[in-house]
Chains A and B, each alone.
Chain A
Amino acid sequence: MTSTAPKKRLTTSAMIASFADPGQRTTSAPFGHALNRLAEQRPEIVGLSADLAKYTDMHVFRDAHPDRFFQMGMAEQSLLGTAAGMAEVGLVPFASTYSVFATRRAYDFLCLDIAEPDLNVNVVGALPGLTTGYGPSHQATEDLAILRGCPNLTIVDPCDSVDIEQAVPALADAPGPTYLRLLRGAVPTVLDEYDYRFQLGKAAELRTGRDVVLISTGLMTMRALQAAARLEADSVDVAVLHVPTIKPLDTEAVLRAARTDRLVVTLENHTVIGGLAEAVAATVAYAGVGTRVVPIALPDEFLAAGALPTLHDRYGLSTDAVVARVRAELGGAAGHRPPAVWPADPAPATA
């Protein structure tokens, strides 16, 4: 379960890399299968892709429901505009591509064609945050920052296969537009061991703890749970609040967690700018709560290419890095706090 296995041969900067730990339980293509099950009950469900069906698990739906799958080619603006048109005539589209293309490239179409008329279009973005070692062209490290400002849009960052399977029907049921940060391929299965059900707009307390509360979203909830178990061995009692819906944020649950003497740490697979950390910090500050929030997130920079485990370790998302950061925060003397974002001192700005 740890990422410190000796002499592990790391793959290099593959487009499709796995963040599952070696030997971890996984489920294959949970999104594609969940969409299939939903489509069998609801004839208005349709799927679209922009030349990435095979890489967004949409191929599972394509093969099962070829008459309801629409290939738009490598054209993301057209993909989202077309999905909007389909919703306008009463269909419920799921449009999948990589997150970078759905957000950076086609944002005007997501905003004006889908969100402004409040259509039930479900945009599915694969490779969110740091889930590929392919470099900044494919690393959607700022998708939440781009999308949180978009009115009407519901944003979901699932932790694992359980979250995805339960989120898909909930997204279709939600009348307005949604964005799902898709974990694809062999997706870890984690939350079935907890008394958990995905509820749109709700956070879930997966563990209680007296010393630290980790407020996490997406795949970082898995790391939070692993870190909590490791810290328990040091007699540090760690709570984990899983926040699968980034917008609208479950501010009541966040405030309940933050009105506390515990160390409050946020964890997200996203740049520290404009994601969960700032959403939680704003919630806390707007409520007049004086709690300090420690963000574990990606740095505000274009990230390196490389093997995913290496990158997660380097940028502070690995379980080891999370544990080290929490220990440092707990043990840090007054007046000595590490930089808010980076696990180690970043290079000086000037030589």
Chain B
Amino acid sequence: MTSLTTPRTAASTDDRTERIERIRQAAYRIRRNALDMGEVQGQGYIGQALGVADVLAVVYTDQLRFRPEDPHWPDRDRFLLSIGHYAIALYAALAEAGTIPTAELETYGSDDSRLPMSAMASYTPGVEISGGSLGHGLPVATGMALGLRHQGNGARVYDLLSDGELDEGSTWEAALACAHHGLDNVTAIVDVNALQADGPTAGVLRTEPVTDKWRAFGWHALRVDGNDVAALVEALDELRAHRGSPGVLICDTRIGRGVPLLEGREKAHFMRVEEHEWQLARTQLEEGLTR
């Protein structure tokens, strides 16, 4: 468990290789946390959590400025989980970040738990908004960024959304507003796993070319392999330094990443994992780390 009070940016003296390895270890623990939580319910957005774990590891252990013991610290960077149904991934990351105790993860989705299956701000320390209804994160991020800038607060606002969320018009309303107001304190992160509730994104409502769309809306857009920690670090460092327009990192991720057993699974959007498969999944995950 880490206890970050300041960001480790490119200016840090960390050796780059050491930095990448540290984040990889964090990503492993986030995946492991997610599998442990998934086992409690037997099903859920496990595939997405495994897919987005590297992104969350970079964000929470390398980029965000926050105090795990003081989730309402006014100068904190805000991380908005627009895709509330990715809660399992966020809780796994918040445990890794030290905001919630790892032991509490076993209450995930249970009655009276602080960790409901869809993330809600009023329940969980470190959860900034109640997402879940899609297309809300970027508008709220816009307001936070405008407000923080108005107050002279240098904190940044990150919004994690999904490629399916690009269907929602409000996302594009906010994209226009961020660019119009020159909000370079906003970073959107788009998890492109190419899958949504009714099937592959290409068949539900085609969103590509995603990068061109953001650029046309006036954003500084980068696209990386969302499971490549080194590429994520480099891109987020660049977006942090960029001035004059909002930045977006488009991350191509793979559902179930890190657990071969789950990577190829049909019905991957809302995944069911059999009882006997959990230990196998954990073993496969561990093997991946040591490779």
Please report A residues at the B interface, Cβ cutoff 8 Å: 46, 67-68, 70, 72-73, 75, 77-78, 80-91, 93, 108-109, 112-113, 116-117
Interface: B122 (CB within 8 A): yes
Interface: B56 (CB within 8 A): no
Interface: B180 (CB within 8 A): yes
Given A89-B144, A116-B130, A82:B177 Cβ within 8 A? yes
Taking CB atoms and an 8 Å cut-off, the chain B residues in 67-118 that contact chain A are: 74
User: Of B148-156, B196-204, B224-232, B255-263, which binds chain A?
Assistant: B148-156
The residue in chain A whose Cβ has the minimal distance to the Cβ of B138 is A81
The residue in chain B whose Cβ has the minimal distance to the Cβ of A85 is B143
**Whole-angstrom distance from the CB of B226 to the nearest CB of chain A?**
25
- B: contact size bracket: 20 to 34
| Additional pairs, 5, CB under 8 Å, beyond known A88-B140, A116-B122 | A73-B176, A81-B142, A88-B129, A89-B147, A109-B170
Interface centre among B130, B142, B169 (most CB of A within 10 A): B142
Interface: B174 (CB within 8 A): yes
The residue in chain B whose Cβ has the minimal distance to the Cβ of A71 is B180
Given A89-B151, A117-B122, A109:B144 Cβ within 8 A? no
Are A109 and B145 in contact (CB-based, < 8 A)? no
Task: Please name all residues of chain B whose beta carbon is closer than 8 Å to the beta carbon of A113 when the two chains form the complex.
Answer: 129, 136, 139-140
Are B177 and A109 in contact (CB-based, < 8 A)? no
A-B pairs, top 10 by smallest CB distance, nearest first, are A85-B143, A81-B139, A82-B143, A78-B173, A75-B173, A77-B170, A85-B144, A89-B147, A86-B147, A85-B140
Please report B residues at the A interface, Cβ cutoff 8 Å: 74, 121-122, 128-130, 133, 135-136, 138-148, 150-151, 153, 169-170, 173-174, 176-177, 180-181
Bound together, the chains give a CA A73 to CA B176 distance in angstroms of 9
Bound together, the chains give a CA A83 to CA B143 distance in angstroms of 6
Task: Please name all residues of chain B whose beta carbon is closer than 8 Å to the beta carbon of A84 when the two chains form the complex.
Answer: 139-140, 143
Q: Which residue of A77, A80, A87 is within 8 Å of B169 (Cβ)?
A: A77
18 A-B pairs, CB-CB below 8 angstroms? A68-B150, A73-B176, A75-B173, A77-B169, A77-B173, A78-B139, A80-B139, A82-B139, A82-B142, A85-B141, A85-B142, A85-B144, A88-B128, A88-B129, A89-B144, A89-B148, A109-B136, A116-B130
Task: Please name all residues of chain A whose beta carbon is closer than 8 Å to the beta carbon of B181 when the two chains form the complex.
Answer: 70
Task: Please name all residues of chain A whose beta carbon is closer than 8 Å to the beta carbon of B136 when the two chains form the complex.
Answer: 81, 108-109, 112-113
Task: Please name all residues of chain A whose beta carbon is closer than 8 Å to the beta carbon of B128 when the two chains form the complex.
Answer: 88
Task: Please name all residues of chain A whose beta carbon is closer than 8 Å to the beta carbon of B173 when the two chains form the complex.
Answer: 72-73, 75, 77-78
Bound together, the chains give a CA A107 to CA B64 distance in angstroms of 32
**Whole-angstrom distance from the CB of A7 to the nearest CB of chain B?**
48
**Whole-angstrom distance from the CB of B82 to the nearest CB of chain A?**
10
Bound together, the chains give a CA A153 to CA B138 distance in angstroms of 23
Bound together, the chains give a CA A108 to CA B136 distance in angstroms of 9
Task: Please name all residues of chain A whose beta carbon is closer than 8 Å to the beta carbon of B144 when the two chains form the complex.
Answer: 85-86, 88-89
